[in-house]
Structure 1
Amino acid sequence: MTKDTQSTSVWHRLLDTRISRRTALGTAAATAAAATLPVSFAQAQQAATGAGASTVSNGAGTSVATGDARFYPPFLPIEPTRADTMTVPAGYRWQVLAPWGEEFTEDGRRIGFNHDFIGYFPADMLEGGQSSTDAYLTINHEYVNPLFLGTEERTQENMEKEKRAMGVSVVRVTKDGQEWKVVKDAKNRAVDGLYDIELTGPVRGTAPVKGATMVKGTVGNCSGGQTPWGTLLTCEENVDGYTKAWEGSGYEAMHQGWVTEIDPFDPEWTPKKRTGMGRFRHENAAVIPAKDGRIVAYMGDDMQDSCVYKFVSKGAYNPANRTANRDLLAEGDLYVANFGNGTWVLLDYAKNKKLQEAKKDDKPLFTSQADVLADARAAALAVGGTPVDRPEDIEIHPRNNDVYIALTNNSKHGNYFGQIVKLTEEGSDHLATTFKWDVFAYGGPKSGFASPDNLVFDPYGNLWMVTDNSDLGTNPIKEFHGNNAMFFFPTEGPNAGKAYRFAVGPVEAEMTGPTWSPDGKTLFVSIQHPGEDSESLNKLTSNFAAAPGSNIPRPTLVAIEGFPGWKA
């Protein structure tokens, strides 16, 4: 990352002040950093490079390997397992935090179901602070399991209960000694499937949304992103399926499927659905200011044979005007990626003749920009956007601005293991309309992982990834994998692209939404849908994080500790 850009993520901002791109932890700085890392760092480096790695004393009578923290994992990699627990390397520990059903507001609201993206907002962020022990966490809740919620019967009461269990929980947490705790703060709230939310942008008040300017709720909340001005972008995915599940409940599918902006610090600010960013199966939004201050957001449409998008705001970010910044995402241009020729294609009805001429059954597909944005997937394919293999999370490398894309899999084309793609904008400029790309890592038995999903970088530029396999334990080609897991990848040096297994989740669960505390000492990750394939409450396949007196598994966050923290 260059000095004239600002990242949306706390750990990326730390990079600007603690790690120079020129020194890149070289020579003496690298040695000083390595000396503070755990002994397992040395073991991991020896495993990767063979015997004879140089060592220095860590000041406690133990020799650890020297070397660049970008090139080696700070842990001894673990083996796959099918245990119904969290498994982490020696020297690391984890705790359950904010599980489904825990009361977290002053008026008795409870944490929603199936945790996904986690946003970390230091409690002192608006005062310029970066607290690593006091924060508002925003927790996405993607979907519900009627068996565990007790809502299998399709009554109005049960459908409302399901809507209340989705959306976003805004939860204050603090660290007391070694333990993280939920605090019942006045700003804690549930922005759920019944919350009043405003539509903004070109689709507001138009025919595709039946003239609506205000809508009910946010659901299908998968991954997301954070803005430089301290708001959450929660991404709505797989929302069309609820049309049938909630039939007769007043649910409007076209009111969902957008990127919704929420201010965790201001309960009085009405959340906004940003229709200019398009409607599709939104996985995430990776946000970064461009060189001229305009905001760029990279997004994936999580479906087989769907596309990768880029949104560019009309206005520019002003660090001194948070109020104005909260309107930046209301207007802008939406592009789709053509990987065949490395171009970004503008999805603008007035400027793109292919959109004006697109037809289905001899009828125009679109008659306005509102139509284009409301069916961005059809518009993307109409102008030559490249259908790819389930683009899930997208994240931006903190050191060089490369864009990493998790392509989970595509059984239609025999891609059962997925891959991670690296996209480099022309001139490393996020406003560029041309790019080059390459495959960073392939899934499969050789690499040890399958179905990459959520991604997160640390300030050294290492990539951390969690997997999204729904067929582990039943698909013989994935016997090598064990339960869904988290992997570490160096992105530079002799081991670039090599996967090191850091953690393994419980039975039938995904780990989702990983995010760091600003000091790098805590990694938060969601445990989603443990025991999802249970046939009944009498035949549970998991009991992970069950409440006292119960054996029903609970989605939850876990806080993983034992990391040495960021060292300059």
Structure 2
Amino acid sequence: MTQHPVETSFWHRLLDTKLTRRSAVGSAAVAAAAVTLPVTLSDAQAQANNGGAVSPTGQAAAPRSFPPFRMIEPTTADTITLPAGYRFQVLAPWGEKFTDDGRTIGFNHDFVGFFPIDLLEGGRSSTEALLTINHEYVNPLFVGGNTKERTAQQIRAEMQDVGVSVVRVRREAGTWKVVPDPRNRRIDAFTDVELTGPVRGSAVVKGATTVKGTVGNCSGGQTPWGTLLTCEENVDGYQKAWEGSGYEAMHQGWVTEIDPFDPAWTPKKRTGMGRFRHENAAVVLAKDGRVVAYMGDDMQDACIYKFVSRGKYDPKNRAAARDLLADGDLYVANFGNGTWVLLDYDRNKKLQDARNGDKPLFTSQAEVLADARAAALAVGGTPVDRPEDIEVHPRNGDVYAALTNNSKHGNFFGQIIKWTEAGSDPGALKFLWGVFAYGGPQSGFASPDNLVFDAYGNLWMVTDNSDLGTNPIKAYHGNNAMFFFPTEGPNAGKAYRFAVGPVEAEMTGPVFSPDGRTLFLAIQHPGEDSPSLDQLTSTFAAAPGTKIPRPTLVAIEGFPGWRA
């Protein structure tokens, strides 16, 4: 998610090039019984888009033109700064034990999924849930205190600190708590994960059908049937970082589906969704019931994609729904003519004709998917400015994408774009797009990153200015922040600053509880640029008796909740 070189950080020097803090995906060529989900199609759509954020009536509430808070000013304070009337609580910080076998919460929290504990019975509990927390990467200085001569033991600890945590939480007496549950668990770099789709068993993965681990877990998405899609973003650099561990880069860089409710269900890498620097997967339903997932490739001059399942979602058959993402079509966006271009070797002759000199770029669909970025550019996909999170408006179906920035072309501030699919159908192959909001001093924000809609259709956005250094942007922006945008009315596209994060931290993975009263937000890499344990730049969320800053989840309260 963050993208810049840091001279003091071993990890980022190792995983990066001049362009990026963590290396890009290379351009080298016992299942549960069916569970009935008594929810409507619209309910499922809203839950998938926004982690369950729907009004008490089950429908998206009426829009608001003004934020429910008084906008705050920029700051560089080493805390979370909020408007009057709002408060935050540290929840599930790195290193906290939460399983019966002594596993601890992983490092560098990112995407957060909110799965109401009663979801499979059609409920929308806002006080008890299974949370899924992505852990994107580690900082060896904090994890092992050693950035140079790292031991095999330290490398193993790093491999255990990435992946995903599944954590049961409950709100009791005004406080959120992590509570015991047999479903509490870690999925890390050692976990068995099944490959599905065209790459399974192919030469691309040397015949593998099961691989080890999920890593580089950036943003993600939730499905209408109650599973997590965790997105593997920056994965190739681990090959050198974890030398001797058996790590295979080609086994990573996919979208991995995990069922938080069913520990016995083996996680699945959905290779049909392509291999690239996956930022997110925003899941919605086409008008005919097919499943659609919008995805960004977080890299300068990379593309935006859409996966469309071949099968249709049946809310009464969860077992079948868990197989829907194994089979489908991958498309790339061409913003020049507003079309989605099919990335299928057998059905798109451009892929068959694509060559590197006298050598074909691809000879099979498995090769196309394994190097989806090269395939996208070969068929006319439009390179854009670091496409990060993509989310779908719960009221009208418009799709919003954060384009963080692109210093190669002088776009230092970034922007948020949106598009409308033909007929407002996510399954359509044509769209009309425009810019929703520009970053810069005039708007007060820069480098938009993760997005989330509330039940009214207002947009909330967090920034990723971790690569600013001495850039003058910081003079008006302060620390990374969270902003509110009305999407309708006279103030549509206007940014209102809601929260400011700690020193050198990103705020990531925002998700609301279904009643709108709690916002869960991940605090990633506070004190990231600390030169040593004796020269810490942040102490945010440090454990009692220590000063080392900890990535953590926070629960922010003070919201009035949704009103229909």
TM-score by length of 2: 0.91
Q: Is the 8 A contact 1:10 1:518 kept in 2?
A: no
Name whichever of 517-526 and 151-160 sits farther off: 151-160
Aligned ranges for residues 493-512 of structure 1 at < 5 Å? 493-512=489-508
Q: Is the 8 A contact 2:462 2:507 kept in 1?
A: yes
Shift of 1:241: 1.1
SS at match of 2:142: helix
Shift of 1:5: 7.7
SS at match of 1:139: strand
Shift of 1:293: 0.7
Name whichever of 121-130 and 536-545 sits farther off: 121-130
SS at match of 2:547: coil
Shift of 1:361: 2.9
Aligned ranges for residues 57-96 of structure 1 at < 5 Å? 69-96=63-90
Counterpart in 1 of 2:325? Answer: 329
Counterpart in 1 of 2:135? Answer: 141
Residues 149-168 of structure 1: per-residue CA shift (max 9 Å, x gap) = 11533332221111100000
Name whichever of 155-164 and 127-136 sits farther off: 155-164
Shift of 1:561: 0.1
Q: Is the 8 A contact 1:466 1:512 kept in 2?
A: yes
1:441 corresponds to which of 437, 443, 447: 437
1:241 corresponds to which of 233, 237, 242: 237
Looking at structure 2, the residues matched to 449 and 467 of structure 1 have their Cα atoms a distance apart, in angstroms, of 8
Counterpart in 1 of 2:29? Answer: none
Looking at structure 2, the residues matched to 14 and 254 of structure 1 have their Cα atoms a distance apart, in angstroms, of 36
Does residue 106 of the first structure (1) align with residue 145 of the second (2)?
no
Does residue 261 of the first structure (1) align with residue 257 of the second (2)?
yes
Residues 91-146 of structure 1: per-residue CA shift (max 9 Å, x gap) = 00001000000001011000000000000001111111111111000000000000
Residues 64-108 of structure 1: per-residue CA shift (max 9 Å, x gap) = xxxxx5211000000000000000000000010000000010110
Counterpart in 2 of 1:9? Answer: 48
SS at match of 1:479: helix
Does residue 422 of the first structure (1) align with residue 422 of the second (2)?
no
Q: Counterpart amino acid of 1:361?
A: G
Counterpart in 2 of 1:293? Answer: 289
Looking at structure 2, the residues matched to 473 and 210 of structure 1 have their Cα atoms a distance apart, in angstroms, of 42
Shift of 1:6: 2.7
Q: Is the 8 A contact 2:54 2:514 kept in 1?
A: no
Looking at structure 2, the residues matched to 378 and 516 of structure 1 have their Cα atoms a distance apart, in angstroms, of 36
Radius of gyration: which is bigger? 1
Distance 1:357 1:317, change over 3 A: same
Counterpart in 1 of 2:17? Answer: none
Looking at structure 2, the residues matched to 401 and 537 of structure 1 have their Cα atoms a distance apart, in angstroms, of 47
1:534 corresponds to which of 525, 530, 533: 530
Residues 428-453 of structure 1: per-residue CA shift (max 9 Å, x gap) = 01111110100000000000000000
Does residue 524 of the first structure (1) align with residue 520 of the second (2)?
yes
Q: Is the 8 A contact 2:113 2:222 kept in 1?
A: yes
Q: Is the 8 A contact 1:5 1:290 kept in 2?
A: no
Looking at structure 2, the residues matched to 198 and 11 of structure 1 have their Cα atoms a distance apart, in angstroms, of 27
Does residue 210 of the first structure (1) align with residue 206 of the second (2)?
yes
Counterpart in 1 of 2:191? Answer: 195
Distance 1:142 1:326, change over 3 A: same
1:557 corresponds to which of 549, 553, 557: 553
Does residue 18 of the first structure (1) align with residue 14 of the second (2)?
no
Identity %: 77
Distance 1:106 1:321, change over 3 A: same
Looking at structure 2, the residues matched to 218 and 20 of structure 1 have their Cα atoms a distance apart, in angstroms, of 35
Residues 490-509 of structure 1: per-residue CA shift (max 9 Å, x gap) = 00001000000000000000
Q: Counterpart amino acid of 1:429?
A: D
SS at match of 1:566: coil
Q: Is the 8 A contact 2:52 2:512 kept in 1?
A: no
Counterpart in 2 of 1:347? Answer: 343
Looking at structure 2, the residues matched to 335 and 471 of structure 1 have their Cα atoms a distance apart, in angstroms, of 31
Looking at structure 1, the residues matched to 53 and 468 of structure 2 have their Cα atoms a distance apart, in angstroms, of 37
Shift of 1:189: 0.3
SS at match of 1:9: helix
Looking at structure 2, the residues matched to 539 and 20 of structure 1 have their Cα atoms a distance apart, in angstroms, of 50
SS at match of 2:80: coil
Residues 226-254 of structure 1: per-residue CA shift (max 9 Å, x gap) = 00000000000010111111122101000
SS at match of 2:373: helix
SS at match of 2:476: coil
Shift of 1:4: 9.6
SS at match of 2:519: strand
Counterpart in 2 of 1:123? Answer: 117
Shift of 1:185: 1.1
Shift of 1:474: 1.8
Distance 1:4 1:466, change over 3 A: closer
Distance 1:276 1:131, change over 3 A: same
Aligned ranges for residues 170-189 of structure 1 at < 5 Å? 170-189=166-185
Distance 1:232 1:5, change over 3 A: closer
Looking at structure 2, the residues matched to 256 and 192 of structure 1 have their Cα atoms a distance apart, in angstroms, of 12
Q: Is the 8 A contact 1:94 1:559 kept in 2?
A: yes
Aligned ranges for residues 328-407 of structure 1 at < 5 Å? 328-407=324-403
Looking at structure 2, the residues matched to 550 and 349 of structure 1 have their Cα atoms a distance apart, in angstroms, of 55
Q: Is the 8 A contact 1:199 1:213 kept in 2?
A: yes
Q: Is the 8 A contact 1:12 1:459 kept in 2?
A: no
SS at match of 1:147: helix
Q: Counterpart amino acid of 2:57?
A: R
Looking at structure 1, the residues matched to 347 and 475 of structure 2 have their Cα atoms a distance apart, in angstroms, of 50
Q: Counterpart amino acid of 1:110?
A: T
Looking at structure 1, the residues matched to 466 and 81 of structure 2 have their Cα atoms a distance apart, in angstroms, of 19
Looking at structure 2, the residues matched to 524 and 5 of structure 1 have their Cα atoms a distance apart, in angstroms, of 20
Q: Which runs of 5+ in 2 are unaligned?
A: 1-39
Shift of 1:470: 1.3
Looking at structure 2, the residues matched to 125 and 477 of structure 1 have their Cα atoms a distance apart, in angstroms, of 43
SS at match of 1:298: strand
Q: How many residues align?
A: 523
Looking at structure 2, the residues matched to 429 and 351 of structure 1 have their Cα atoms a distance apart, in angstroms, of 23
Q: Counterpart amino acid of 2:335?
A: F
Shift of 1:416: 0.3
Q: Counterpart amino acid of 2:143?
A: L
Counterpart in 2 of 1:546? Answer: 542
SS at match of 2:451: strand
Q: Counterpart amino acid of 2:382?
A: T
Residues 252-309 of structure 1: per-residue CA shift (max 9 Å, x gap) = 0000000000000000000000000000000000001111110000000000000000
Q: Is the 8 A contact 2:386 2:405 kept in 1?
A: yes
Residues 156-187 of structure 1: per-residue CA shift (max 9 Å, x gap) = 22211111000000000001111101112111
Counterpart in 1 of 2:21? Answer: none
Looking at structure 2, the residues matched to 236 and 14 of structure 1 have their Cα atoms a distance apart, in angstroms, of 25
Counterpart in 2 of 1:478? Answer: 474
Distance 1:2 1:74, change over 3 A: farther
Looking at structure 1, the residues matched to 157 and 508 of structure 2 have their Cα atoms a distance apart, in angstroms, of 24
Residues 463-494 of structure 1: per-residue CA shift (max 9 Å, x gap) = 00000011345212331000000000000001
Counterpart in 1 of 2:126? Answer: 132
Distance 1:384 1:10, change over 3 A: closer
Q: Is the 8 A contact 2:485 2:493 kept in 1?
A: yes
The two structures, once aligned, show a CA RMSD in angstroms of 1.5
Counterpart in 1 of 2:454? Answer: 458
Looking at structure 2, the residues matched to 555 and 447 of structure 1 have their Cα atoms a distance apart, in angstroms, of 29
